[in-house]
Structure 1
């Protein structure tokens, strides 16, 4: 039997706040969408191509030419962003490889639109620098913090499996990145699974040491997802968003330092640390091919086998079909 997670008090408060925020967003943006159907509602996270696209302002002219406007909503991670998309509060967003699996198990509302190539070095399991833990196998009986349903959820599962362990051998504590770092720094947990740029910040400026990154364990793709219903009626607008992402992606690939300078104010992490994270990122937005779908299906099957999602899902069923 899987060990029960023991959320810290601040984690429960944070979760409640996220759910309330998503509910409010659903109501407000739902009213806006009824008032004007020619709006693309985009959810983004503090770090990544979408926040860069928002800052550059290059999407708005593309959508305006098609008769659309755009609204932007920030989320702390992929799981609440996709909860909002499933609830009909968003039309488009981005998340790592695991949140779409949880979202698809809960609803058939989303569709995979595109993805970035694998970036396994962009996430890691961290321990304090002075921790006696030197291998993943030594996490047995320890407390490990990570965001439930996030990309690092799968990293933790995969790393444990390679070490001959399961989630039942640890005590998982489900925390957002901010709460995870706070718990990690005060010694409330033994290890912390997290993604860039929080990973880079913890190692460069904090008291963290890498126990394992995603190399040879997980692909760590970044996906762009849209509402299935919105895409069916507004395919040209979705194509315009993907086109704008591709342009920003091409620029960012060769301008890591400039991207870091541009993102630093919104992310709240110094540019030199962001540059470390950006150099682990992958670039080149593209449609999902058979291999990527198969990799996602393995994640879905793993999570269903562990009882972490309530039903089996068919990833291919949620992939946008050409011309749709």
Structure 2
């Protein structure tokens, strides 16, 4: 993992505190006034002043999002919202497809997905915006058994590949096939959730698997599985998405959630061994597996913006080529509408100012 410069999470600039006309010397007071100031800066005073009270905060945790596991384990969101009597409801997402389903149905307000999967969801009407980057991972590759005769992507023609539709590994698979002049019609894709894909590969029910960490790391260490094809540029960013109605109605709460994510991001850099232990215990994998997973994540770039937009626009043609979106869909416009740089920017800037 790349080191991240630490900062005092609960320190904010005096002018931000003055903006909301309040100065509270307790730790919770500082955090709440900071979040209110951030909400004022992002959304405007009128909206913040009339924000609806939040009775329940619904968000996901995922084995592919170490921040979510750290936050959940330490109870940081429960602590943050305790004085407001807001109940925190955690929902396990086993893949981007599940997180997007939960977001679309309103089962969660905030969910973690891969970037290209979020584009696909947005293009199909999911009312979300990507407001934060929880990691820049290499979390997927094409995996084969250690004794497999398959040596190249071209060798996959006519073979069975396990992949979870609507997720980064599924889209990674399609892009990988294209590098060898193959398409989805040249293989048989077996739609299985990520852990089931690993089991199917180990049992010989499929020839290859579009892996996802930590399951992929476990397959390597525990099963001796081999990574057939890797391409970090085909791994899209880890997006924290929020429903548009939640962004509109609960700006203060969203700012506070992102501040807690910032706390977790910096804590992970400062406590790699503790993070690995939490990931191992929550994901029910061995410590070496958790460490391998974490070694493939870069937590240093939390701000969504132009870099993610450019990467997604470069990747988006696969959605058209494979007819995963309606004909005529303007994916560039979808991506521009999805990636929202405004929400996280003041949160990250406020946190960074605490280091100066």
Is the CA contact 2:95–2:113 (under 8 Å) kept in the aligned structure 1? yes
Residue matched to 1:317: 337
Question: What is the CA-CA distance between 1:178 and the residue it aligns to?
Answer: 1.9
Evaluate the alpha carbon distance shift between residue 214 and residue 321 of structure 1 in structure 2; reply closer, same or farther with a 3 A threshold: closer
Evaluate the alpha carbon distance shift between residue 64 and residue 231 of structure 1 in structure 2; reply closer, same or farther with a 3 A threshold: farther
Greater shift in the superposed pair: 56-65 or 188-197: 56-65
Does 2:137 align with 1:119? yes
Q: Distance in 1 between matches of 2:219 and 2:93?
A: 20
Which of 245, 248, 263 is 2:264 aligned to? 248
Question: What is the CA-CA distance between 1:70 and the residue it aligns to?
Answer: 1.8
Gaps of 5+ in 2: 1-52, 345-356
Gaps of 5+ in 1: 1-35
SS at match of 2:285: coil
Which of 19, 38, 58 is 2:55 aligned to? 38
TM-score normalised over the length of structure 2: 0.75
Kindly indicate whether structure 1 or structure 2 has the higher relative contact order, using CA contacts under 8 Å at least 6 residues apart. 2
Q: How does 1:11-26 map to 2 (within 5 A)?
A: none
Evaluate the alpha carbon distance shift between residue 321 and residue 65 of structure 1 in structure 2; reply closer, same or farther with a 3 A threshold: farther
Is the CA contact 2:172–2:235 (under 8 Å) kept in the aligned structure 1? no
Q: Distance in 1 between matches of 2:98 and 2:127?
A: 14
Evaluate the alpha carbon distance shift between residue 213 and residue 102 of structure 1 in structure 2; reply closer, same or farther with a 3 A threshold: same
Residue matched to 1:5: none
Q: How does 1:1-324 map to 2 (within 5 A)?
A: 37-48=54-65, 49-64=67-82, 68-120=86-138, 122-215=139-232, 217-284=233-300, 286-310=302-326, 312=329, 313=331, 314-320=334-340, 322=342
TM-score normalised over the length of structure 1: 0.82
Q: Distance in 2 between matches of 1:175 and 1:131?
A: 20
Q: Distance in 1 between matches of 2:91 and 2:203?
A: 31
Please provide the CA RMSD for this pair.
Answer: 2.1
Evaluate the alpha carbon distance shift between residue 219 and residue 76 of structure 1 in structure 2; reply closer, same or farther with a 3 A threshold: closer
Is the CA contact 2:119–2:338 (under 8 Å) kept in the aligned structure 1? no
SS at match of 1:195: coil
Q: Distance in 2 between matches of 1:272 and 1:226?
A: 33
Question: What is the CA-CA distance between 1:118 and the residue it aligns to?
Answer: 2.8
